[in-house]
Structure 1
């Protein structure tokens, strides 16, 4: 009776060893040879947007109003750097550039402390303009 469990154990171990596959190392995928050097795609830089702070500067120039734009800079917590009006103004100009504007008439810039998600926030608002020369 003791021989039967030992024989079954020996058979099961032998049977499991027959199911194993030989070890085959994984070969890395070969990259195709490049015939010419890869060219970097040119990055699209926003067109320069002139900032007007006084509407009187636009009196003699024909222009078209493209809509309102804004820029902001958020101070998330008291440990972060304070919000910067210059950064908010620059972001406003970048948004105006995205609207194909070449100028912005600045309405106001201010720092507010009641902004959602920010400890303090610098906000600039203006109008995106297409000024003809």
Structure 2
């Protein structure tokens, strides 16, 4: 029985002194991720300037194409709000014409009306969107 602990001790010491073969340490470099696509910031597309003609005589002799009716509104929601702005209604009408690829508007009328649903008073401008040729 005494031999058993001595044999175990001899095996333990022999195992510790044997040369170990170790695997070389390989440091894996992380796989480079493909670059993320850069999202382009939306570029504010500036609307082409739209010329406002207040009378039809200014168009005499100029070739143009009528693109349809356009309108713009400015609303005064309650009696306590600011009065409806005619300039804002005109700007909205010109912006609408620009979205139709028009370069001019022949103004028919601008007026302030009451009794429009959702508005105490409303400024309304109406006109014709035109594409005036430079020839």
Q: What's the TM-score once normalised by structure 2's chain length?
A: 0.70
Deviation at 1:97, TM superposition (A): 0.4
Deviation at 1:60, TM superposition (A): 1.2
Deviation at 1:38, TM superposition (A): 5.5
Deviation at 1:89, TM superposition (A): 0.3
Partner of 1:11: none
Deviation at 1:79, TM superposition (A): 1.5
1:93 aligns with 2:94: yes
Partner of 2:7: none
Partner of 1:45: 46
Q: State how far apart, in whole Å, the 1-side matches of 2:70 and 2:41 are.
A: 32
Supply the RMSD in Å over aligned alpha carbons. 1.8
Unaligned runs of 5+ in 1: 1-31
Q: State how far apart, in whole Å, the 2-side matches of 1:96 and 1:107 are.
A: 14
1:73 aligns with 2:74: yes
3-state secondary structure, aligned to 1:45: coil
Larger Rg: 2
Partner of 1:57: 58
Unaligned runs of 5+ in 2: 1-32
Q: State how far apart, in whole Å, the 2-side matches of 1:36 and 1:126 are.
A: 45
Q: State how far apart, in whole Å, the 2-side matches of 1:96 and 1:36 are.
A: 36
Partner of 2:123: 122
Q: Number of matched residues?
A: 102
Deviation at 1:37, TM superposition (A): 6.6
Deviation at 1:52, TM superposition (A): 0.1
Q: What's the TM-score once normalised by structure 1's chain length?
A: 0.71
